[in-house]
Every structure is written in C-alpha cells, then in structure tokens.
Structure 1
Amino acid sequence: MTAGTPTARTVLGDLAPDQLGVTNAHDHLFFASRRLPGQELDDTDAAVRELRAFARLGGRTVVQWSPFGLGRHPEALAEVSRSADVHVIAATGLHQAAHYPPELLARVRDRLAELFVAELTTGMHRADDPDGPTVPARAGLVKVAGGFHGLDAHARHALTAAAEAHHATGTPIAVHLEGGTAALDVLDLLCDRLDVPPHRVILGHLTRFPDPRVPRAAAEAGAFLALDGPSRAHHATDWRLFDVLTALVEAGHATQVLLGGDTTTAAARSVTGEGPGMPFLLTALRPRIERELGPEIATAIFEASPARAFATAWTAT
C-alpha cells in the first residue's frame, strides 16, 4: 500500500484540506437514537436552511459525527451539501451500545472494521442497513465512543475496529467521550496499544469534565480536542469552554483545538427551534475568541486545525 496526497473526504468528493475553510468540526445534520425518542433530526429542508445560515456567516464545512445506525441519512447528505453550498464530512463508526437495537449490534459486531473501511472507500449504507445498498457518498472519518470513566467491552471492540480501519485507510478517528471522561483511557488503547498516531485521534466533549489536567494531558499526547460550543443538550457546561480553551492556547496547543456546535435535536437548531444552532459559532464564539485571544488564534481553531485534523493521506494499492 502507498500513501497519496493528503485530502479531506467530503460527501461530494475529495478536497485539498485548505479548501475546507471555516469549519464546524462537530455537529449533526441528521441524527436519531433510541435514547432520544421524538427528538430526531430528520428534516432535509431544515438541514439545508441551517447550513445556509452557517454559510451566510462565512462557514464553509460541517463535520457530521452521526455514525452508522443513528439516522445519518447518507442518501440525503450530498443533496444537502450541494443545495447549501457547504462541504459536509460524514462519519462511519459506531456509538455506545445503548443507542442501538441489540439485533443490529449482533449483525455488525463481527465485521465492524470491514464495514468501516467499506463506508470510507466505497460508499455508505443507505438506511444504515449493513446488508443493504450503498450510496456513492463516502465517509471521511470514523466516529466511536468511550464509556463513563472507562472503556467497557463494547467500547474496546469498536475502538479496536476503528484502529483497524485507520491502519487500512489513514482516516482520523473521532471519539465521543461520555461526560468528557476516559480521554486518557482512549489514548492508551488507540495510541499505545493499537499504534494509531495521536494526531489521528480527535477527542470530543472535553469541556464536560471539569478537571483541567485531562485536556492538557490529551493535548500534550498529541491528540486533537473537539470542544463543544453551544450544545443545547449540555449547556450547563458551556461556561467551561473559554477556561479550557484559554488554558490550551496559553500552553501552546491552539493548533490542536477544534470547535463544534454538537446540535443533536431540532430544538437546538437556529431555524427550527430555540437555537442557538450552528450560526452561534460565528456570531458569538469566533468574535469573542478574536477579542480575548487574537484573530490568529481564531483562524487556527476554525481553519488551520480542521485542515490538519480531517486530512487523510488515503492509502491506495
């Protein structure tokens, strides 16, 4: 296998990483979980309008972290991206077991790495059916999840499959940290035991755990940190964002920081609910970062860091 020129894989094709522009590094256009009945993100028109609201403020790319089996609507993502003129990076992968019907987990458990690689290189499965047809749109990252203050058997199995997919394709691995915990357990497994380079790992939700030593240690290890911005589902932790962000910048880790809105329900959208939705990243957070930390830090977080985090030197025969 040989490595090619680094590119970012969007649902409409591959781009040079510097074409991603201003990036919302962690969000959801479509999402559904059995843990959130009645709160599905499944409205294509609303997804387009939310993306357009983000684009009007200068937003160019949204990274959707909805993995396999959670209503990510791969058949609609290309249409939404094209209609809004916003790049969309989609995810394959697997969330925590509680989000899935047991019968679906049983169907994919023994072929996770194969499933991930196929969705990264060939196309994502329509309607999240592992045995059904695929769409041409390909995933550009693998999203998996840790457990609360540790890694259970399901998490270890999914993380191991993600590592296999990374070694086969070079793709970055994005990790949901439950309550912001177990970040160092994730890095121990992926990087120390499974040989994934730390800069290919993106850790999410670190502002949800108040110990400042954890994000600093994760950054020192070399991982990217995807901090939540206006996440309505976890708004009680929003006040920590600037404390964590400032500490990381002052420690020299600005080029490893990413920001995302993590919109998981229609009520959190700017166009269908009470917001603040995707636009808040650029109407409120970016101006504040520019005022408090400087314009160059804002550019690093919203443009330079995503270009590095989501670039892949895709392997080819």
Structure 2
Amino acid sequence: MSGDAVVRTVLGDIPHDELGIVYAHEHLIIQGGLGVMKNSDLRLNSVEKAVEEINDCKKYSAKTFVDFMPLDSGRNPSALVEIAKRTETHIIATTGFHKPMYYDDLHWIYSYSLDQIVDLLIQECEVGMDKHSYNGPLVERLSAKAGVLKGASDYNVIKSVSKKLFEAVAMAHLETGVPIATHTEHGTCGLEQIELLAKFGVKPENVIICHMDRNPDIYVHKELGGTGCFIEYDNATRVKYHPDSESVSLIVRMIEAGFQDKILLGTDFALRSYWKAYGGGPGMAYLLETFIPRLKKQGIPAETVNRFITQNPQNAYSLKKIQSKLVAGGVKDDNEKQGSLSYRGN
C-alpha cells in the first residue's frame, strides 16, 4: 500500500491511515424507495437515530462507517454529510446499484445505454453525488463524492440487467480508481462476480465481496480468497441464519488458510428492528462490544483481529492505481488512452 493512499469520504479525501476503526458495511440512512415500500422495516429515515447509533459505536472507538445504499434505492447523500459532521466520523458513500428488486420495470437502468450509465457513475465519483440519487428528472450535485462503486446479484444468478450494471461499474472503476464492492444474495455468486468483473478488466484485489458468511462453506471462501479479493463478513448476531459460533469458526479457518489480510467486518444492519435507536436490537455497537472480544477469546491474536477493522479496510477502500482502461470490446492499453485523474491511489 502506497504511503500516500487516500480514501474518498463525503467530507473529502483523507489519508487511508486516518480511518481508524472501520465498520465496513452499513446502512445509515434509507430514506424510501421501492425496497421500503415492500418492507417498512427497511425505513431508516432519521438522522437523529443514525447519530445516536453511531455515537453508541464511538464508545468503542469506531471512527469510520461505509454506507452501502446505492442509487435510487433510498440513499440520501445530504443526510450522510450531516451525520458525518454531527458525529465527527468519516463516512464513505456508495454509488452504483442494488439487485433488480429495488427498481421497477420502467426504471432507467433498463433503458439507458451503457455509456450513459458509466458517465452518471463517474460524475458521482469525481464531481459530486446527485442530491436525489438520480431518481430524477433534475440533477443537483453536492460537493460530496462517492467512495465506493456497488454491483449486486440475485440468489444463485446474475441477471441480464445486473450484468449490464456490473459492466458499467467496472468501466467507472477503471476511469476513477474508486474501489468496487458487491452484494451477494445469501453468499452466492461471489466467484461469478469476480469472473465477470475480471472480464471487464477489473483486478480482484480492487473488489470487496460482501455477505459471504451467509454461506459459510469454507471451500467457497478459500476459492474466493485465492483470487485476491477482499471478503466482508456481517452475519454476526443473526441467529435466525446461524449462531455466531459459525462465523467465528469460519474466520478462524480463513486465518489458518492465510487470508487474514483479506477479511473485513461490518453489521449490515439495514433494518430498524436491528437498531437500539429505533427500539430494536442488538444495535450496531454489538460488533465492537461483543463480537470482536469473542474473536480474541477464541484465541485469535489481538493484532490479527484489529487488522480486520483497521488495516484491511484501509487497503480495501483506498483509491486504486489503474493500469489499463476498458473500452467497448475490451481493455485498451495505457499507451492508447491515458487516465484523466492525477491520483489513482494504490
């Protein structure tokens, strides 16, 4: 990792080693959208509650939160800026796309050309996020920029429109150096996502595959780790899927396999019923208050556990040094097309 590597937060770019303890996959605000219409528990629309929940995490020295709500699915970048200022924390915002269920069949993801979508993503990363998250028709850009590009797939399948959006995310990444993070449904299609992105010229080490502990098959995790990508785990407390012992065991086995430098941790608490601030539980602080100490009690060295929430996310979320550019039909050599950014990070 280059000593001058930076991470793009909603309040500006900062050196990657200033992130402190990182919650690698969160949902701080979900203002509305089709997902909320289908499930009201997804409505996380209070800045006050977000501030309260973050302040609870700050008691355990949390400093950075990566908000994973992408375009036109409830993201509110203005609220993220306000939360960052009020809590004095670093917030990394996301552009890109969720799985198709978050968009109706007349949405512009189906009708806009690939080049049009790529341009929208690049503008969000380099100029500023749209205040309305492209739910249109007017665009009002904030100064706050997105620091993550997101793609998503469904359960055991990457649908046609999602492949188009993954290609757009890949092209935007190759232009901007902003890292890619993905949604996997129940931990499926992680390898397929890496293969698809590689087809478009994206290096696996610039990709974060999320929710993989929903599918605690160690063989799959080793295969995924072997590609060089980062793997994000966020299933702690979800006993309805499996007990925390399953996640702990998975992490131990991944360390034994030599992948301790590729593990990230978050909570992915996208439901108000998970937040203490909304009267639910266990609350986002559970990660630092309970799960991290449990990993240490399991015998994992403190230095290794701390890496999951400090150095690893610092590396994963830094802007990337891009070696080539993607154009229609394949990857163009740097000698044919030079990037427009003065900084690409790692």
* TM-score normalized by the length of structure 1: 0.93
**1:306 aligns with one of 305, 313, 323:** 313
Q: Work out whether residues 267 and 274 of structure 1, in 8 Å CA contact, stay in contact via their aligned partners in 2.
A: yes
Task: Tell me the secondary structure at the aligned position of residue 221 of structure 1.
Answer: coil
Say whether residues 1:196 and 2:196 are aligned partners.
no
User: Can you list the C-alpha shifts for 1:283-302, whole angstroms capped at 9, x where unaligned?
Assistant: 01111122221101111101
Deviation string, structure 1 residues 215-264 (Cα, Å, up to 9, x no partner): 111111100001014465x8413533112211111111111000000011
> Could you tell me which amino acid in structure 2 is paired with residue 205 of structure 1?
H
Tell me, in whole angstroms, the C-alpha distance in 1 between the residues paired with 2:240 and 2:14: 33
Judged with a 3 Å threshold, the aligned counterparts in structure 2 of structure 1 residues 135 and 38 are, in CA distance, closer, same or farther, namely: same
> 1:69-84 counterparts in 2 under 5 A?
69-84=72-87
* TM-score normalized with structure 2 length: 0.86
Instruction: Determine whether 1:21 maps to 2:24.
Output: no
> What is the RMSD of the two structures over their aligned residues, measured on CA atoms?
1.9
Cα distance 1:33–1:243, how it changes in 2: closer, same or farther (>3 A)?
Answer: farther
Q: Please give the alpha-carbon distance, in whole angstroms, between the structure 2 residues aligned to 1:237 and 1:157.
A: 33
Asked if 1:180 is matched to 2:183, the reply is no
Within the candidate set 272, 278, 296, 1:290 is matched to: 296
Amino acid at match of 1:145: A
Partner of 1:127: 132
1:107 offset after TM fit, Å? 7.3
Over 3 Å counting, the alpha-carbon distance change for 1:37 and 1:57 in structure 2 is same
Question: For residue 335 of structure 2, what is the aligned residue in structure 1?
Answer: none
Aligned pair count?
313
CA displacement 1:43-95 (0-9 Å, x = unmatched):
11001111111112100000011101111111111110110111100000011
Flag structure 1 segments of 5+ consecutive residues without an equivalent: none
Distance 1:89 1:117 in 2: 16
Aligned to 2:40: 38
- Match of residue 247 from structure 1: 253
Give the superposition deviation at 1:172: 0.8
Q: Distance in 1 between matches of 2:181 and 2:88?
A: 24
Q: Which residue of 1 aligns with 2:117?
A: 112
Q: CA deviation at 1:121?
A: 0.8
Displacement of 1:194 in angstroms is 1.3
| TM-aligned CA distance change 1:185 to 1:150, over 3 Å | same
Tell me the secondary structure at the aligned position of residue 62 of structure 1. Answer: strand
Contact 2:213 2:235 in 1 (8 A): no
Check conservation: 1:207, 1:238, Cα contact below 8 A.
no
1-structure distance, mates of 2:317, 2:243: 25
The answer to whether the 8 Å contact 1:71/1:127 transfers is no
More helix, by proportion: 1
Q: CA deviation at 1:313?
A: 4.0
Identity between Structure 1 and Structure 2 (%): 29
Q: Could you say what secondary structure the match of 1:103 adopts? A: coil
Structure 2 unaligned regions, length at least 5 = 322-339
Are 2:164 and 1:150 aligned?
A: no
Structure 2 letter corresponding to 1:116: L
Instruction: Quote the Cα distance in structure 1 between the aligned partners of 2:95 and 2:124.
Output: 6
SS of the residue corresponding to residue 25 of structure 2 reads strand
Alignment equivalent of 1:258, drawn from 253, 264, 273:
264
